[in-house]
Structure 1
Amino acid sequence: MVEMAIPDTPRSSTHGEEIRTARTRRYLMCRPEHFAVTYEINPWMDASRPVDTGLAIAQWEHLRRTHLDLGHTVDLLDPLPGLPDMVFAANGALVIDGHALGVRFRHAERAPEAGPYAAWLRAQGIEVTDAVAVNEGEGDFLVVGDLLLAGTGFRSDRAAHAEAQELFGVPVVSLSLVDPRFYHLDTALAVLDDRTVAWWPPAFSPGSRGALRRLFPDGIEATEADALAFGLNAVSDGRHVVVAAAAHDLISALSARGFVPVPVDLSELLRGGGGAKCCTLELRPEAVGS
Protein backbone atom coordinates (compact mmCIF):
# COMPACT_ATOMS: atom_id res chain seq x y z
CA MET A 1 0.00 0.00 0.00
CA VAL A 2 1.34 3.41 -0.95
CA GLU A 3 0.65 6.04 1.70
CA MET A 4 -0.05 9.56 0.51
CA ALA A 5 1.25 12.48 2.56
CA ILE A 6 -1.26 15.03 3.81
CA PRO A 7 -0.62 18.29 1.93
CA ASP A 8 1.13 20.81 4.19
CA THR A 9 -1.05 23.78 3.30
CA PRO A 10 -3.04 26.46 5.17
CA ARG A 11 -6.41 25.63 6.73
CA SER A 12 -8.15 27.75 4.10
CA SER A 13 -7.82 27.98 0.32
CA THR A 14 -9.64 29.93 -2.36
CA HIS A 15 -11.53 29.18 -5.55
CA GLY A 16 -12.03 32.51 -7.22
CA GLU A 17 -13.42 34.58 -4.37
CA GLU A 18 -14.61 31.52 -2.42
CA ILE A 19 -12.71 30.46 0.66
CA ARG A 20 -12.49 26.73 1.37
CA THR A 21 -12.29 26.39 5.13
CA ALA A 22 -11.81 23.15 7.02
CA ARG A 23 -14.03 22.51 10.02
CA THR A 24 -13.01 20.03 12.71
CA ARG A 25 -15.25 16.97 12.78
CA ARG A 26 -15.95 14.06 15.11
CA TYR A 27 -16.20 10.64 13.50
CA LEU A 28 -17.11 7.11 14.56
CA MET A 29 -15.33 4.17 12.94
CA CYS A 30 -15.21 0.39 13.43
CA ARG A 31 -12.04 -1.64 12.77
CA PRO A 32 -12.57 -4.39 10.14
CA GLU A 33 -11.21 -7.24 12.26
CA HIS A 34 -13.96 -9.53 11.01
CA PHE A 35 -14.29 -8.13 7.50
CA ALA A 36 -15.13 -10.75 4.90
CA VAL A 37 -17.47 -11.23 1.98
CA THR A 38 -19.59 -14.17 3.08
CA TYR A 39 -22.84 -13.10 1.43
CA GLU A 40 -23.84 -10.98 -1.55
CA ILE A 41 -26.21 -8.05 -1.04
CA ASN A 42 -24.77 -5.60 -3.57
CA PRO A 43 -23.13 -5.94 -7.01
CA TRP A 44 -19.64 -5.37 -5.61
CA MET A 45 -19.69 -8.47 -3.42
CA ASP A 46 -18.40 -11.83 -4.65
CA ALA A 47 -18.42 -14.45 -1.91
CA SER A 48 -16.39 -16.85 -4.07
CA ARG A 49 -13.25 -14.66 -3.83
CA PRO A 50 -11.24 -14.75 -0.59
CA VAL A 51 -10.75 -11.42 1.19
CA ASP A 52 -7.39 -10.26 2.51
CA THR A 53 -8.52 -9.13 5.96
CA GLY A 54 -5.03 -7.99 6.88
CA LEU A 55 -4.90 -5.67 3.88
CA ALA A 56 -8.38 -4.37 4.69
CA ILE A 57 -7.26 -3.54 8.23
CA ALA A 58 -4.12 -1.80 6.98
CA GLN A 59 -6.07 0.31 4.49
CA TRP A 60 -8.69 1.17 7.12
CA GLU A 61 -5.96 2.11 9.61
CA HIS A 62 -4.48 4.48 7.05
CA LEU A 63 -7.91 6.09 6.65
CA ARG A 64 -8.25 6.49 10.42
CA ARG A 65 -4.79 8.03 10.65
CA THR A 66 -5.65 10.38 7.77
CA HIS A 67 -8.68 11.70 9.66
CA LEU A 68 -6.55 12.20 12.77
CA ASP A 69 -3.76 13.91 10.84
CA LEU A 70 -6.34 16.35 9.46
CA GLY A 71 -7.21 17.33 13.03
CA HIS A 72 -10.43 15.39 13.46
CA THR A 73 -11.53 13.24 16.39
CA VAL A 74 -12.09 9.54 15.73
CA ASP A 75 -14.04 7.39 18.19
CA LEU A 76 -14.04 3.62 17.81
CA LEU A 77 -16.82 1.06 18.11
CA ASP A 78 -15.68 -2.46 18.99
CA PRO A 79 -16.23 -4.89 16.09
CA LEU A 80 -18.23 -8.06 16.72
CA PRO A 81 -17.60 -11.47 15.18
CA GLY A 82 -20.14 -12.58 12.62
CA LEU A 83 -20.85 -9.01 11.50
CA PRO A 84 -18.36 -8.46 8.64
CA ASP A 85 -19.96 -5.20 7.47
CA MET A 86 -19.75 -3.38 10.82
CA VAL A 87 -16.74 -1.57 9.35
CA PHE A 88 -19.17 0.46 7.27
CA ALA A 89 -19.98 2.78 10.16
CA ALA A 90 -21.82 5.37 8.06
CA ASN A 91 -24.74 2.96 7.92
CA GLY A 92 -25.03 2.93 11.72
CA ALA A 93 -27.09 6.10 12.28
CA LEU A 94 -27.76 9.69 11.30
CA VAL A 95 -26.62 12.11 14.00
CA ILE A 96 -27.61 15.80 14.03
CA ASP A 97 -27.63 18.27 16.92
CA GLY A 98 -26.73 15.60 19.43
CA HIS A 99 -29.71 13.42 18.42
CA ALA A 100 -29.66 10.25 16.32
CA LEU A 101 -32.08 8.44 14.07
CA GLY A 102 -31.33 4.75 14.46
CA VAL A 103 -31.25 2.38 11.51
CA ARG A 104 -33.28 -0.50 10.20
CA PHE A 105 -31.39 -2.48 7.57
CA ARG A 106 -32.93 -3.80 4.38
CA HIS A 107 -31.11 -7.14 4.50
CA ALA A 108 -31.28 -9.62 7.36
CA GLU A 109 -27.51 -10.16 7.20
CA ARG A 110 -26.86 -6.64 8.46
CA ALA A 111 -29.82 -6.24 10.84
CA PRO A 112 -27.80 -7.16 13.98
CA GLU A 113 -25.49 -4.16 13.42
CA ALA A 114 -28.19 -1.67 14.40
CA GLY A 115 -28.16 -2.55 18.11
CA PRO A 116 -24.42 -2.05 18.79
CA TYR A 117 -24.39 1.30 17.04
CA ALA A 118 -27.46 2.54 18.93
CA ALA A 119 -26.03 1.29 22.23
CA TRP A 120 -22.70 3.07 21.66
CA LEU A 121 -24.45 6.34 20.82
CA ARG A 122 -26.66 6.13 23.92
CA ALA A 123 -23.59 5.47 26.06
CA GLN A 124 -22.19 8.76 24.73
CA GLY A 125 -25.30 10.61 25.92
CA ILE A 126 -26.81 10.85 22.42
CA GLU A 127 -30.56 10.39 22.33
CA VAL A 128 -31.43 7.71 19.76
CA THR A 129 -34.85 7.44 18.14
CA ASP A 130 -35.53 3.94 16.83
CA ALA A 131 -36.36 3.80 13.13
CA VAL A 132 -39.78 2.67 11.92
CA ALA A 133 -39.12 2.59 8.18
CA VAL A 134 -36.06 1.00 6.60
CA ASN A 135 -33.13 3.42 6.55
CA GLU A 136 -29.40 2.77 6.37
CA GLY A 137 -28.06 5.87 8.09
CA GLU A 138 -25.61 8.12 6.30
CA GLY A 139 -25.53 5.65 3.46
CA ASP A 140 -28.74 7.31 2.28
CA PHE A 141 -28.81 10.54 4.32
CA LEU A 142 -26.31 13.30 3.53
CA VAL A 143 -26.27 16.70 5.23
CA VAL A 144 -25.46 19.66 2.99
CA GLY A 145 -25.90 23.14 4.45
CA ASP A 146 -29.38 23.35 5.95
CA LEU A 147 -30.73 20.51 3.80
CA LEU A 148 -30.81 16.75 4.17
CA LEU A 149 -30.43 14.83 0.92
CA ALA A 150 -32.11 11.43 1.17
CA GLY A 151 -31.70 8.50 -1.18
CA THR A 152 -34.15 5.75 -2.02
CA GLY A 153 -34.51 3.05 -4.63
CA PHE A 154 -32.46 0.14 -3.31
CA ARG A 155 -32.07 0.34 0.48
CA SER A 156 -33.83 3.12 2.42
CA ASP A 157 -37.60 3.56 2.16
CA ARG A 158 -39.02 6.91 1.14
CA ALA A 159 -41.06 6.82 4.36
CA ALA A 160 -37.78 7.14 6.26
CA HIS A 161 -37.28 10.56 4.69
CA ALA A 162 -40.40 11.81 6.43
CA GLU A 163 -39.20 10.27 9.70
CA ALA A 164 -35.94 12.18 9.48
CA GLN A 165 -37.67 15.46 8.69
CA GLU A 166 -40.02 15.10 11.64
CA LEU A 167 -37.21 14.15 14.02
CA PHE A 168 -34.67 16.80 13.04
CA GLY A 169 -36.89 19.55 11.62
CA VAL A 170 -34.62 19.78 8.59
CA PRO A 171 -35.92 20.07 5.00
CA VAL A 172 -35.44 16.75 3.22
CA VAL A 173 -34.89 16.36 -0.52
CA SER A 174 -35.79 12.86 -1.74
CA LEU A 175 -33.59 11.48 -4.52
CA SER A 176 -34.21 8.28 -6.48
CA LEU A 177 -31.28 6.00 -7.29
CA VAL A 178 -31.59 3.86 -10.43
CA ASP A 179 -28.25 2.04 -10.89
CA PRO A 180 -27.83 -0.95 -8.54
CA ARG A 181 -24.05 -0.47 -8.46
CA PHE A 182 -24.75 2.76 -6.60
CA TYR A 183 -27.20 1.38 -4.10
CA HIS A 184 -26.64 4.04 -1.43
CA LEU A 185 -26.71 7.80 -1.94
CA ASP A 186 -23.18 8.12 -0.56
CA THR A 187 -21.83 5.99 -3.41
CA ALA A 188 -23.14 8.40 -6.05
CA LEU A 189 -22.87 11.82 -4.36
CA ALA A 190 -20.32 13.46 -2.07
CA VAL A 191 -20.96 16.56 0.03
CA LEU A 192 -17.91 18.82 -0.28
CA ASP A 193 -19.08 21.84 1.73
CA ASP A 194 -22.35 23.53 2.67
CA ARG A 195 -23.04 24.53 -0.95
CA THR A 196 -21.10 22.13 -3.13
CA VAL A 197 -21.48 18.48 -4.09
CA ALA A 198 -19.82 16.10 -6.49
CA TRP A 199 -22.04 13.48 -8.11
CA TRP A 200 -22.53 11.06 -11.01
CA PRO A 201 -25.79 11.99 -12.78
CA PRO A 202 -26.61 8.59 -14.39
CA ALA A 203 -27.01 7.06 -10.92
CA PHE A 204 -30.17 9.16 -10.44
CA SER A 205 -33.63 9.27 -11.99
CA PRO A 206 -34.31 12.10 -14.48
CA GLY A 207 -36.32 14.07 -11.92
CA SER A 208 -33.66 13.69 -9.27
CA ARG A 209 -30.98 14.81 -11.73
CA GLY A 210 -33.03 17.92 -12.45
CA ALA A 211 -33.48 18.65 -8.75
CA LEU A 212 -29.76 18.30 -8.06
CA ARG A 213 -28.82 20.59 -10.93
CA ARG A 214 -31.22 23.23 -9.61
CA LEU A 215 -29.97 22.92 -6.06
CA PHE A 216 -26.27 22.72 -6.97
CA PRO A 217 -25.70 24.39 -10.34
CA ASP A 218 -22.00 24.61 -9.48
CA GLY A 219 -21.71 20.93 -8.55
CA ILE A 220 -18.90 18.75 -9.86
CA GLU A 221 -20.18 16.07 -12.23
CA ALA A 222 -17.89 13.07 -11.95
CA THR A 223 -17.00 10.63 -14.70
CA GLU A 224 -18.17 7.03 -14.73
CA ALA A 225 -14.59 5.94 -14.03
CA ASP A 226 -14.56 8.15 -10.91
CA ALA A 227 -17.86 6.67 -9.76
CA LEU A 228 -16.76 3.07 -10.34
CA ALA A 229 -13.61 3.76 -8.31
CA PHE A 230 -15.93 4.86 -5.46
CA GLY A 231 -14.49 8.34 -5.74
CA LEU A 232 -17.82 9.81 -4.69
CA ASN A 233 -17.74 7.85 -1.45
CA ALA A 234 -15.60 10.66 -0.08
CA VAL A 235 -15.27 12.50 3.24
CA SER A 236 -14.85 16.29 3.22
CA ASP A 237 -14.26 18.73 6.06
CA GLY A 238 -15.10 21.66 3.79
CA ARG A 239 -11.62 21.89 2.39
CA HIS A 240 -9.76 18.58 2.53
CA VAL A 241 -11.48 15.76 0.63
CA VAL A 242 -10.48 12.21 1.54
CA VAL A 243 -11.08 10.49 -1.77
CA ALA A 244 -10.32 7.20 -3.53
CA ALA A 245 -6.83 7.35 -5.03
CA ALA A 246 -8.08 5.75 -8.24
CA ALA A 247 -10.56 8.60 -8.93
CA HIS A 248 -8.05 10.54 -11.02
CA ASP A 249 -10.41 12.89 -12.87
CA LEU A 250 -12.28 13.76 -9.69
CA ILE A 251 -9.04 14.50 -7.87
CA SER A 252 -8.09 16.93 -10.64
CA ALA A 253 -11.53 18.54 -10.58
CA LEU A 254 -11.40 18.99 -6.80
CA SER A 255 -8.01 20.66 -7.02
CA ALA A 256 -9.23 22.98 -9.76
CA ARG A 257 -12.11 24.06 -7.51
CA GLY A 258 -9.90 24.95 -4.56
CA PHE A 259 -10.35 21.78 -2.52
CA VAL A 260 -7.38 19.76 -1.28
CA PRO A 261 -7.75 16.09 -2.28
CA VAL A 262 -6.27 13.56 0.14
CA PRO A 263 -6.12 10.25 -1.76
CA VAL A 264 -6.53 6.93 0.06
CA ASP A 265 -6.59 3.33 -1.17
CA LEU A 266 -9.46 1.25 0.21
CA SER A 267 -9.54 -1.25 -2.65
CA GLU A 268 -9.96 -4.29 -0.38
CA LEU A 269 -12.95 -2.75 1.41
CA LEU A 270 -14.47 -1.89 -1.97
CA ARG A 271 -14.95 -5.61 -2.40
CA GLY A 272 -17.68 -5.27 0.21
CA GLY A 273 -19.15 -2.25 -1.56
CA GLY A 274 -17.60 0.46 0.64
CA GLY A 275 -15.12 3.30 0.63
CA ALA A 276 -13.96 6.19 2.79
CA LYS A 277 -17.42 7.58 3.56
CA CYS A 278 -18.89 4.16 4.21
CA CYS A 279 -16.27 3.70 6.93
CA THR A 280 -16.92 7.10 8.53
CA LEU A 281 -19.99 8.16 10.51
CA GLU A 282 -20.05 11.86 11.42
CA LEU A 283 -21.23 12.73 14.92
CA ARG A 284 -22.71 16.23 14.71
CA PRO A 285 -23.14 17.98 18.06
CA GLU A 286 -24.61 21.04 16.36
CA ALA A 287 -27.78 21.75 14.42
CA VAL A 288 -27.69 21.54 10.64
CA GLY A 289 -26.76 24.84 9.04
CA SER A 290 -25.17 26.24 12.20
Structure 2
Amino acid sequence: MCRPEHFTVSYTINPWMEPAKPTDTARALSQWQVLHDTYLALGHEVELIDPVEGLPDMVYTANGGFVIDGVAYGAKFRYRERGPEAPAFMAWFASHGFDVVDPVCVNEGEGDFLLAGDTILAGTGFRSTDDSHRELRDVFGKEVVSLTLVDPRFYHLDTAISVLDPVVGPGGVDRANIAYLPHAFDERSQRVLAERFPDAIRASDEDGAVFGLNSSSDGLNVVISPRATGFEAQLRERGYNPVLVDLSELLLGGGGIKCCTLELRGRA
Protein backbone atom coordinates (compact mmCIF):
# COMPACT_ATOMS: atom_id res chain seq x y z
CA MET A 1 0.00 0.00 0.00
CA CYS A 2 1.00 3.65 -0.40
CA ARG A 3 -0.19 6.54 1.74
CA PRO A 4 -2.01 9.14 -0.40
CA GLU A 5 0.05 12.04 0.93
CA HIS A 6 0.11 13.70 -2.50
CA PHE A 7 -3.35 12.68 -3.66
CA THR A 8 -5.16 15.14 -5.89
CA VAL A 9 -6.82 15.11 -9.31
CA SER A 10 -4.82 17.40 -11.58
CA TYR A 11 -5.29 15.59 -14.91
CA THR A 12 -7.80 13.29 -16.61
CA ILE A 13 -6.94 9.75 -17.70
CA ASN A 14 -10.25 8.06 -16.85
CA PRO A 15 -13.94 9.13 -16.74
CA TRP A 16 -13.93 9.48 -12.96
CA MET A 17 -11.26 12.20 -12.87
CA GLU A 18 -12.51 15.79 -12.95
CA PRO A 19 -9.73 18.27 -12.11
CA ALA A 20 -12.30 21.03 -11.59
CA LYS A 21 -13.86 19.06 -8.72
CA PRO A 22 -12.06 19.76 -5.42
CA THR A 23 -10.32 16.88 -3.64
CA ASP A 24 -9.57 16.63 0.07
CA THR A 25 -6.16 15.06 0.67
CA ALA A 26 -6.70 14.87 4.43
CA ARG A 27 -9.96 12.98 3.91
CA ALA A 28 -8.28 10.64 1.45
CA LEU A 29 -5.58 9.94 4.04
CA SER A 30 -8.14 9.29 6.75
CA GLN A 31 -10.16 6.88 4.59
CA TRP A 32 -7.00 5.11 3.41
CA GLN A 33 -5.88 4.68 7.02
CA VAL A 34 -9.12 2.89 7.83
CA LEU A 35 -8.45 0.45 4.98
CA HIS A 36 -4.87 -0.09 6.17
CA ASP A 37 -6.00 -0.72 9.74
CA THR A 38 -8.80 -3.01 8.57
CA TYR A 39 -6.28 -5.29 6.88
CA LEU A 40 -4.22 -5.45 10.06
CA ALA A 41 -7.32 -6.21 12.13
CA LEU A 42 -8.14 -9.08 9.76
CA GLY A 43 -4.70 -10.55 10.36
CA HIS A 44 -2.97 -9.53 7.15
CA GLU A 45 0.56 -8.18 6.84
CA VAL A 46 0.81 -4.77 5.19
CA GLU A 47 3.96 -3.32 3.67
CA LEU A 48 4.30 0.26 2.48
CA ILE A 49 6.02 1.94 -0.44
CA ASP A 50 6.97 5.58 0.06
CA PRO A 51 4.80 8.07 -1.81
CA VAL A 52 6.58 10.27 -4.36
CA GLU A 53 5.70 13.92 -4.75
CA GLY A 54 4.21 14.62 -8.16
CA LEU A 55 2.75 11.11 -8.49
CA PRO A 56 -0.76 11.49 -7.03
CA ASP A 57 -1.97 8.13 -8.39
CA MET A 58 0.75 6.12 -6.66
CA VAL A 59 -1.79 5.32 -3.94
CA TYR A 60 -3.32 2.90 -6.46
CA THR A 61 -0.62 0.31 -5.83
CA ALA A 62 -2.45 -2.52 -7.63
CA ASN A 63 -1.22 -1.00 -10.89
CA GLY A 64 2.43 -1.20 -9.84
CA GLY A 65 3.02 -4.81 -10.86
CA PHE A 66 1.85 -8.41 -10.60
CA VAL A 67 3.43 -10.83 -8.15
CA ILE A 68 3.31 -14.64 -7.98
CA ASP A 69 5.75 -16.97 -6.17
CA GLY A 70 8.21 -14.20 -5.43
CA VAL A 71 8.39 -13.02 -9.06
CA ALA A 72 7.30 -9.43 -9.71
CA TYR A 73 6.31 -8.61 -13.30
CA GLY A 74 6.65 -4.83 -13.50
CA ALA A 75 4.19 -2.31 -14.89
CA LYS A 76 4.52 -0.18 -18.01
CA PHE A 77 1.86 2.50 -17.85
CA ARG A 78 -0.15 3.65 -20.85
CA TYR A 79 -0.26 7.31 -19.81
CA ARG A 80 2.86 9.42 -19.32
CA GLU A 81 1.44 10.94 -16.12
CA ARG A 82 1.84 7.59 -14.37
CA GLY A 83 5.00 6.43 -16.14
CA PRO A 84 7.46 7.38 -13.36
CA GLU A 85 5.60 5.12 -10.92
CA ALA A 86 6.90 2.00 -12.66
CA PRO A 87 10.60 2.31 -11.73
CA ALA A 88 9.65 3.25 -8.16
CA PHE A 89 7.69 0.03 -7.77
CA MET A 90 10.34 -2.10 -9.47
CA ALA A 91 13.00 -0.66 -7.16
CA TRP A 92 10.80 -1.52 -4.17
CA PHE A 93 10.31 -5.11 -5.38
CA ALA A 94 14.03 -5.59 -5.92
CA SER A 95 14.97 -4.16 -2.52
CA HIS A 96 12.45 -6.43 -0.78
CA GLY A 97 13.68 -9.73 -2.18
CA PHE A 98 11.49 -10.22 -5.23
CA ASP A 99 12.80 -11.34 -8.62
CA VAL A 100 11.87 -8.46 -10.92
CA VAL A 101 10.88 -8.93 -14.57
CA ASP A 102 11.13 -5.74 -16.62
CA PRO A 103 8.09 -5.54 -18.92
CA VAL A 104 8.27 -5.00 -22.66
CA CYS A 105 4.54 -4.53 -23.23
CA VAL A 106 2.14 -1.93 -21.86
CA ASN A 107 0.45 -3.32 -18.77
CA GLU A 108 -0.93 -1.90 -15.55
CA GLY A 109 -0.21 -4.73 -13.18
CA GLU A 110 -2.83 -6.20 -10.93
CA GLY A 111 -5.27 -3.60 -12.14
CA ASP A 112 -5.69 -5.81 -15.22
CA PHE A 113 -4.32 -9.16 -14.00
CA LEU A 114 -6.21 -11.22 -11.41
CA LEU A 115 -5.20 -14.65 -10.12
CA ALA A 116 -8.23 -16.95 -9.91
CA GLY A 117 -7.16 -20.39 -8.74
CA ASP A 118 -4.25 -21.32 -10.99
CA THR A 119 -5.52 -19.19 -13.86
CA ILE A 120 -4.70 -15.56 -14.61
CA LEU A 121 -7.63 -13.46 -15.81
CA ALA A 122 -6.21 -10.66 -17.95
CA GLY A 123 -8.01 -7.52 -19.05
CA THR A 124 -7.53 -5.43 -22.15
CA GLY A 125 -9.43 -2.76 -24.02
CA PHE A 126 -8.34 0.45 -22.31
CA ARG A 127 -4.96 0.07 -20.59
CA SER A 128 -3.03 -3.22 -20.82
CA THR A 129 -2.36 -4.49 -24.35
CA ASP A 130 -3.05 -7.95 -25.78
CA ASP A 131 0.70 -8.45 -26.13
CA SER A 132 1.12 -8.12 -22.38
CA HIS A 133 -1.08 -11.21 -21.93
CA ARG A 134 1.39 -13.28 -23.96
CA GLU A 135 4.26 -11.80 -22.00
CA LEU A 136 2.46 -12.66 -18.77
CA ARG A 137 2.06 -16.27 -19.92
CA ASP A 138 5.76 -16.51 -20.70
CA VAL A 139 6.78 -15.05 -17.34
CA PHE A 140 4.60 -17.19 -15.08
CA GLY A 141 3.88 -20.29 -17.18
CA LYS A 142 0.18 -20.23 -16.27
CA GLU A 143 -3.00 -20.23 -18.30
CA VAL A 144 -3.98 -16.67 -19.19
CA VAL A 145 -7.60 -15.93 -20.10
CA SER A 146 -8.00 -12.67 -22.03
CA LEU A 147 -11.10 -10.56 -21.33
CA THR A 148 -12.03 -7.39 -23.20
CA LEU A 149 -13.47 -4.40 -21.34
CA VAL A 150 -15.84 -2.16 -23.29
CA ASP A 151 -17.25 0.35 -20.76
CA PRO A 152 -14.77 3.22 -20.17
CA ARG A 153 -15.97 3.61 -16.58
CA PHE A 154 -14.51 0.17 -15.89
CA TYR A 155 -11.15 0.62 -17.54
CA HIS A 156 -9.24 -1.90 -15.44
CA LEU A 157 -10.23 -5.53 -14.87
CA ASP A 158 -10.27 -5.08 -11.09
CA THR A 159 -13.14 -2.59 -11.41
CA ALA A 160 -15.35 -5.23 -13.05
CA ILE A 161 -14.26 -8.53 -11.44
CA SER A 162 -13.67 -9.50 -7.84
CA VAL A 163 -11.94 -12.82 -7.09
CA LEU A 164 -13.68 -14.05 -3.94
CA ASP A 165 -11.73 -17.18 -3.10
CA PRO A 166 -8.76 -18.05 -5.29
CA VAL A 167 -8.70 -21.79 -4.63
CA VAL A 168 -7.35 -24.57 -6.82
CA GLY A 169 -9.36 -27.79 -6.55
CA PRO A 170 -8.21 -31.44 -6.78
CA GLY A 171 -6.05 -32.17 -9.79
CA GLY A 172 -5.53 -28.45 -10.43
CA VAL A 173 -9.17 -27.92 -11.37
CA ASP A 174 -10.04 -24.23 -11.06
CA ARG A 175 -12.67 -23.77 -8.34
CA ALA A 176 -12.21 -20.06 -7.77
CA ASN A 177 -15.36 -18.07 -7.21
CA ILE A 178 -15.72 -14.60 -8.65
CA ALA A 179 -18.17 -11.75 -8.88
CA TYR A 180 -18.37 -9.70 -12.06
CA LEU A 181 -20.23 -6.96 -13.88
CA PRO A 182 -21.44 -8.54 -17.15
CA HIS A 183 -22.00 -5.43 -19.26
CA ALA A 184 -18.44 -4.20 -18.63
CA PHE A 185 -17.26 -6.89 -21.10
CA ASP A 186 -17.77 -7.64 -24.77
CA GLU A 187 -19.99 -10.56 -25.77
CA ARG A 188 -17.13 -13.03 -26.21
CA SER A 189 -15.77 -12.27 -22.75
CA GLN A 190 -19.22 -12.59 -21.22
CA ARG A 191 -19.52 -16.07 -22.75
CA VAL A 192 -16.09 -17.05 -21.41
CA LEU A 193 -16.97 -15.88 -17.91
CA ALA A 194 -20.36 -17.62 -17.96
CA GLU A 195 -18.77 -20.90 -19.07
CA ARG A 196 -15.82 -20.83 -16.66
CA PHE A 197 -17.64 -19.43 -13.65
CA PRO A 198 -21.26 -20.61 -13.84
CA ASP A 199 -21.80 -19.96 -10.12
CA ALA A 200 -20.35 -16.44 -10.17
CA ILE A 201 -22.14 -13.51 -8.56
CA ARG A 202 -23.40 -11.17 -11.27
CA ALA A 203 -23.35 -7.67 -9.87
CA SER A 204 -25.67 -4.80 -10.74
CA ASP A 205 -24.68 -1.60 -12.50
CA GLU A 206 -25.59 0.34 -9.34
CA ASP A 207 -23.00 -1.58 -7.34
CA GLY A 208 -20.45 -1.40 -10.14
CA ALA A 209 -20.85 2.37 -10.39
CA VAL A 210 -19.67 2.80 -6.78
CA PHE A 211 -16.71 0.47 -7.44
CA GLY A 212 -18.35 -2.29 -5.41
CA LEU A 213 -16.42 -4.93 -7.33
CA ASN A 214 -13.13 -3.16 -6.68
CA SER A 215 -12.85 -5.22 -3.52
CA SER A 216 -10.34 -7.38 -1.66
CA SER A 217 -11.08 -10.88 -0.39
CA ASP A 218 -9.20 -13.41 1.72
CA GLY A 219 -11.73 -16.14 0.97
CA LEU A 220 -14.07 -15.21 3.80
CA ASN A 221 -13.80 -11.50 4.54
CA VAL A 222 -14.54 -9.30 1.52
CA VAL A 223 -13.63 -5.63 1.96
CA ILE A 224 -16.10 -3.59 -0.10
CA SER A 225 -17.60 -0.14 -0.49
CA PRO A 226 -20.49 0.50 1.95
CA ARG A 227 -22.45 1.97 -0.95
CA ALA A 228 -22.54 -1.39 -2.78
CA THR A 229 -25.56 -2.55 -0.80
CA GLY A 230 -26.80 -5.08 -3.35
CA PHE A 231 -23.38 -6.70 -3.62
CA GLU A 232 -23.15 -6.79 0.16
CA ALA A 233 -26.42 -8.74 0.31
CA GLN A 234 -25.25 -11.13 -2.44
CA LEU A 235 -22.03 -11.83 -0.53
CA ARG A 236 -23.89 -12.55 2.71
CA GLU A 237 -26.19 -14.96 0.86
CA ARG A 238 -23.11 -16.88 -0.30
CA GLY A 239 -21.61 -17.09 3.20
CA TYR A 240 -18.98 -14.36 2.89
CA ASN A 241 -18.39 -11.67 5.50
CA PRO A 242 -18.57 -8.21 3.91
CA VAL A 243 -16.34 -5.64 5.62
CA LEU A 244 -17.36 -2.09 4.75
CA VAL A 245 -14.72 0.58 4.12
CA ASP A 246 -15.51 3.93 2.50
CA LEU A 247 -12.93 5.19 -0.01
CA SER A 248 -15.23 7.73 -1.67
CA GLU A 249 -12.53 10.42 -1.80
CA LEU A 250 -10.14 8.13 -3.66
CA LEU A 251 -12.92 7.24 -6.09
CA LEU A 252 -12.54 10.80 -7.40
CA GLY A 253 -9.27 9.58 -8.93
CA GLY A 254 -10.91 6.45 -10.33
CA GLY A 255 -9.78 3.99 -7.66
CA GLY A 256 -11.18 1.97 -4.79
CA ILE A 257 -10.23 -0.72 -2.30
CA LYS A 258 -8.56 -3.15 -4.70
CA CYS A 259 -6.84 -0.32 -6.57
CA CYS A 260 -5.15 0.61 -3.30
CA THR A 261 -4.03 -2.97 -2.64
CA LEU A 262 -1.28 -4.95 -4.38
CA GLU A 263 -1.05 -8.60 -3.29
CA LEU A 264 2.44 -9.90 -2.59
CA ARG A 265 2.35 -13.64 -3.24
CA GLY A 266 5.49 -15.35 -1.99
CA ARG A 267 8.92 -13.81 -1.61
CA ALA A 268 12.08 -15.06 -3.22
Q: For residue 219 of structure 1, what is the aligned residue in structure 2?
A: 200
1:132 to 104, 107, 110: 104
Q: For residue 237 of structure 1, what is the aligned residue in structure 2?
A: 218
Matched, 1:274 2:255: yes
Q: Distance in 2 between matches of 1:109 and 1:275?
A: 19
Q: Distance in 2 between matches of 1:252 and 1:43?
A: 28
Q: Which has the higher contact order (CA 8 A, sep 6+)?
A: 1
Deviation at 1:50, TM superposition (A): 1.4
Q: Distance in 2 between matches of 1:207 and 1:130?
A: 31
Residue segments in structure 1 that go unaligned for 5+ positions in a row: 1-28
CA-atom RMSD, angstroms?
0.9
Q: Distance in 1 between matches of 2:20 and 2:183?
A: 29
SS in structure 1 of the partner of residue 30 of structure 2 = helix
Amino acid aligned to 1:239: L
> Could you list the runs of 4 or more consecutive aligned residues of structure 1 that deviate by over 6 angstroms after TM superposition?
none
Deviation at 1:125, TM superposition (A): 1.1
Alignment of 1:35-184 (within 5 A): 35-184=7-156
Q: For residue 209 of structure 1, what is the aligned residue in structure 2?
A: 190
Deviation at 1:129, TM superposition (A): 0.5
Deviation at 1:286, TM superposition (A): 7.5
Q: Distance in 2 between matches of 1:49 and 1:226?
A: 23
Q: For residue 24 of structure 1, what is the aligned residue in structure 2?
A: none
CA contact (8 A) 2:97 2:267 kept: no
| TM-score of the two chains, using structure 1 as the length reference | 0.88
Deviation at 1:116, TM superposition (A): 0.8
Residue segments in structure 2 that go unaligned for 5+ positions in a row: 167-175
Identity of aligned residues (%): 57
Q: Distance in 1 between matches of 2:132 and 2:267?
A: 22
Q: Distance in 1 between matches of 2:130 and 2:100?
A: 20
